[in-house]
Amino acid sequence: MAVRLGDEAPNFSAETTEGTIDFHTWKADSWAVLFSHPKDFTPVCTTELGTVAKLKPEFDKRGVKVIGLSVDPVESHRDWEKDIADVTGNAVNFPMIADPDRKVADLYDMIHPNANDTLTVRSVFVIGPDNKVKLTLTYPASTGRNFDELLRVIDSLQLTAAYSVATPADWRDGDDVIIALSVSDDEAKERFPKGFTAQKPYLRVTPQPNKG
C-alpha cells in the first residue's frame, strides 16, 4: 500500500549504521526525512549521500532528523561510506538503514516493479512531529535529487504548520506568502499586522509573518 500525505508514517525496527533503531522512538517528536537509494556503490547515490552529509547542519537548524535507506547490508553501507567521504569530501553523518530483506522498502512502497523489481526508487518522505507524512517525492534511479529544494519545501511545511498561510511558486524563506482562503479579510487584518495586498479576492499576499 502506498504511503500517502496525511497517513501515519509506518513504524519499523531496522539495523542501521548507527545501531538497531525503532523508527518512531528514533524520530521522537522531531521532523524527519526518510529517503531511499537504489543500491550501494552506485554513482548517483554516492553524490546524493555526500550532498546530504554536507547539508546536515541545514537539516539540524530546522530540527529535522535525516535517515537514509538502501537494500544492502550494514557492512556494505560502512564500506561504501569510505568511498563517499573519499569522493565528495563529506563523511556520512546520519544513519543508513540496511534493508536486505526489503521490509522497510515494502512498508513504504519504495520498490516500483515496473521501474525495477528489486531495487528501491529514490523515495523521500518528510514526516512531521505528529508522525504524519507531510511530503512524498519519487525520482527514478537515473536522476539525483535536489536537496536544496528539499530544504526549501521543509521551510514551507514548517511555516504553513505554524501560520494560516501558503507559499507561492518558487517561494524561498523570507519571501512574501499567501493568506489561507479560510481566513476572512477581517481576521487577516488581526492575524497579519504587517498588512496584506489583495491581488484578487482569493490571492492576498503578506510579508512572511515570522520574519523581522
Q: Would you state the cell numbers that stand for residue 183, as one nine-digit string?
A: 481566513
User: Is 43 near ligand BEZ (CB under 6 A)?
Assistant: yes
Give yes or no for a contact between 190 and 183, defined as CB atoms under 8 angstroms apart.
Answer: no
Stretch that binds ligand BEZ, among 22-30, 36-44, 57-65, 185-193 (CB under 6 A): 36-44
Which active-site residues does the annotation give?
A: 45
Q: Which is nearer to ligand BEZ, 65 or 102 (CB)?
A: 102
User: Quick check: 201 binds ligand BEZ (CB under 6 A)?
Assistant: no
| Smallest separation, CB 35 to ligand BEZ (Å) | 13
Nearest distance from C-beta of residue 67 to ligand BEZ, angstroms? 18
Candidate ranges 42-50, 167-175, 184-192, 198-206; the one touching ligand BEZ (CB under 6 A): 42-50
Measure the CA–CA gap between 137 and 125, rounded to whole angstroms: 7
Residue 68: partners with Cβ closer than 8 Å, 6 or more residues away = 35, 36, 37, 49, 52, 92, 94, 95, 96, 97
Rounded distance, CA 108 to CA 97, Å?
Answer: 13
CA nearest to 44, candidates 70, 66, 22, 64: 70
- Residues in region 106-165 near ligand BEZ by CB under 6 A: 119, 141
Of 35-43, 78-86, 87-95, 158-166: span binding ligand BEZ (CB under 6 A) = 35-43
The answer to the question of residue 44 lying near ligand BEZ (CB under 6 A) is yes
List, edge to edge, every strand of the sheet that includes 165-166: 165-166, 177-179, 203-206, 197-200
CA distance 166 to 160: 6
Taking the complex as a whole, how short is the minimal distance between the CB of residue 180 and ligand BEZ, in angstroms? 39
The binding site for ligand BEZ (CB under 6 A) comprises 38-39, 42-45, 119, 141
